[in-house]
Amino acid sequence: MNSTYDTDVLVVGAGPTGLTLAASLINRGIATTIVDAQATAAHTSRAAAVNARTLEVLEGLDVTRRLVKEGVHAPRFTIRDRSRVLMNLDFSGLTTDYPYTLLIPQNVTETLLNDRLLELGGSVVRAKSLTSVVQDDDGVTARFDDGDVVRARYVVGADGIHSSVREQAGIGFHGGAYGESFILADVHLDGEKPIEEVVLFWATAGLTVVAPLPDGSYRIVAPVVDAPEEPSAAFVQQVLDERGPGAGRIVVTDVVWSSRFRIHHRVADTYRAGRLLIAGDAAHVHSPAGGQGMNLGIQDAVVLADALATVLAGGPDTTLDEYSAARRPIASGVVSLTDRLTRLATLPRGLRPIRNAAIGMAGRVPAVRQALAMRLSGLVYR
Ligand SMILES: Cc1cc2nc3c(=O)[nH]c(=O)nc-3n(C[C@H](O)[C@H](O)[C@H](O)COP(=O)(O)OP(=O)(O)OC[C@H]3O[C@@H](n4cnc5c(N)ncnc54)[C@H](O)[C@@H]3O)c2cc1C
């Protein structure tokens, strides 16, 4: 087998995970090629919450200061039943330089990561779709839809939920699908809109997240049975009336962008099969309720860049197994946390007073609030 390499690491997929990984590797002087099947980057806002841990890990790439300038800083996170606060998490007491949730649309995060990649001398090769990967003792041969063949020492699938790298590596992706779809809407609001606060409303009909975005709009995320493909202002209003602080107390004036998506909760059996590795949505997917998906992917990428740099510098090969062993339980933990939040939010009406009393009591215990704030900010994974 040919042991001449075109690149040390081939990164498949230029979402937030792939961009972070490629920039981190190039920053360490590692020959890296990054490709994406799409002709242009996505323009939609999707994952809007960047947590404190992500901001900490992106410092080394010099991306954090750029993100912090562009986003809304929300130091408060409340869980509410209608307008009643069940739990008030104050992130401002967390020991970090970033004691808040940063709200910023995913396309802006990706643009800032891509800007940094360009500054470092890298660039995404588009539109180039991986069709096959075959590994041997010395490396990996990757083939693309345009007929190109690339030989790399390692290939990383940062290619999202339908990852072809994961499939071709034969890595299982177990879990299940949520029965409901999620609506995602960026809307303008009047009335009792939260300021510098992310609100998670618990209601029998389902949980609903309301969060401020930098352009003055608000992000609404809610699981809905049979949601329309592009939820209208009237539809989002109905969701907020049923689940928010009370009918008419928050008013949707217009929709900037809206979408519906279905989501699974799955974690890959392993993040490594020989010279093939996976990270981000290729390795784990779950409910967007806790705002963790993109954060986990970016954090996977930073840890994996360290591991690949160690191995490429002659360090032990087991460092890549350690990447998988360290990151996989974190994804499993996030899947169970978001599942628990979803189940608690959707308890039948008769059980709600008990739930509210229990969570109200728990919320008065500083250690409970601190533990939840540490989970949501990602600081627990330091
Ligand atoms: C509509 C929508 C709303 C969402 N809302 C939220 C939210 O509110 N909160 C939240 O936390 N998360 C949300 N998410 C999930 C969040 O967007 C993902 O967690 C995040 O994008 C994962 O990043 P990634 O880089 O791992 O994968 P992706 O962003 O999926 O990127 C994968 C990339 O790989 C490329 N690719 C795929 N196959 C190939 C191939 N064979 N060859 C080359 N390239 C390939 C794709 O073109 C894509 O650019 C949402 C997702 C969607 C779709």
List of E strands, the chain: 7-12, 32-35, 49-50, 72-74, 76-81, 84-90, 101-103, 124-125, 130-135, 140-144, 149-157, 173-191, 197-201, 208-212, 218-224, 250-268, 272-273, 276-278, 284-285
| Res 171: pLDDT | 98
Closest listed residue to residue 205, CA positions, set 176, 249, 238, 250: 238
Contact 114, 124 (CB under 8 A): yes
Cα of 42 from ligand 1 centre, angstroms? 9
Mean pLDDT of 165-184: 91
Burial class, 262, CB count within 10 angstroms (exposed 0-12 / middle 13-18 / buried 19+): exposed
Which three-class secondary structure state does DSSP give residue 379?
helix
Mean pLDDT, all residues of the chain: 94
Pocket perturbation via mutation, ligand 1, pick of 109, 130, 159, 304 by most ligand atoms within 8 A of CB: 159
What is the CB neighbour count within 10 angstroms for residue 144? 18
Alpha-carbon distances of 91 from 47, 98, 254, 373, rounded to whole Å: 20, 9, 30, 6
- pLDDT level of residue 3 (50, 70, 90 thresholds): low
Which three-class secondary structure state does DSSP give residue 164?
helix
| Res 347: pLDDT | 77
Residue bearing the bigger pLDDT, 224 or 133? 133
- pLDDT level of residue 269 (50, 70, 90 thresholds): very high
| Ligand 1 cavity residues, CB under 6 Å | 12-18, 35-38, 46-48, 106, 129-130, 158-160, 164, 184, 221, 259, 261, 280-281, 288, 291-294, 297
Q: Whose CA is nearest to atom 6 of ligand 1?
A: 47
For residue 279, which atom of ligand 1 is closest to its CA?
A: 26
Work out whether strand 250-268 and strand 284-285 pair parallel, antiparallel, or are unpaired: antiparallel
Cα of 30 from ligand 1 centre, angstroms? 25
What is the C-alpha to C-alpha distance for residues 245 and 115, in angstroms, rounded to an integer? 40
Cβ neighbours for 56, distance < 8 A, ≥ 6 positions apart: 64, 96, 97, 98, 379, 382
For residue 19, which atom of ligand 1 is closest to its CA?
A: 25
- pLDDT level of residue 205 (50, 70, 90 thresholds): confident
| H helical segments located in 183-258 | 233-243
| Res 198: pLDDT | 96
Mean pLDDT of 343-372: 86
Cα of 251 from ligand 1 centre, angstroms? 30
| Res 288: pLDDT | 78
Q: Whose CA is nearest to atom 5 of ligand 1?
A: 46
Cβ neighbours for 109, distance < 8 A, ≥ 6 positions apart: 16, 47, 50, 67, 294
pLDDT in tens, 283-300: 999 887 777 899 999 999
| Res 342: pLDDT | 74
Which of 171-180, 345-354, 373-382 has the highest mean predicted lDDT (pLDDT)? 373-382
What is the C-alpha to C-alpha distance for residues 274 and 63, in angstroms, rounded to an integer? 31
Residue 345 has pLDDT above 80, yes or no: no
Closest listed residue to residue 221, CA positions, set 115, 301, 341, 319: 341
What is the C-alpha to C-alpha distance for residues 152 and 6, in angstroms, rounded to an integer? 6
What is the C-alpha to C-alpha distance for residues 170 and 343, in angstroms, rounded to an integer? 32
Token pair of 104, please?
């910023």
> What angle is formed at CA 29 by the lines to CA 26 and CA 35, rounded to 5 degrees?
30
Give one DSSP letter per residue of 259-324, joined into a string: EEEEEEEEEES-SEETTEEE-GGGTEE--GGGS-HHHHHHHHHHHHHHHHHHHHTT--THHHHHHH
> What angle is formed at CA 336 by the lines to CA 333 and CA 339, rounded to 5 degrees?
150
Lowest-confidence region among 95-104, 152-161, 173-182, 327-336? 173-182
Residue 34 has pLDDT above 70, yes or no: yes
Alpha-carbon dihedral angle through residues 265, 271, 275, 280, given to the nearest 10 degrees: 60
- Amino acid, res. 32: T
* Whether pTM exceeds 0.85: yes
| Res 1: pLDDT | 47
Lowest-confidence region among 218-222, 313-317, 352-356, 375-379? 352-356
What is the C-alpha to C-alpha distance for residues 5 and 15, in angstroms, rounded to an integer? 25
Residue 159 has pLDDT above 90, yes or no: yes
> What angle is formed at CA 284 by the lines to CA 279 and CA 286, rounded to 5 degrees?
145
Mean pLDDT of 77-102: 95
Closest listed residue to residue 289, CA positions, set 214, 201, 226: 201
> Cα dihedral sign for 147, 153, 156, 162?
positive
Cα of 292 from ligand 1 centre, angstroms? 13
Residue 230 has pLDDT above 90, yes or no: yes
What is the C-alpha to C-alpha distance for residues 191 and 295, in angstroms, rounded to an integer? 31
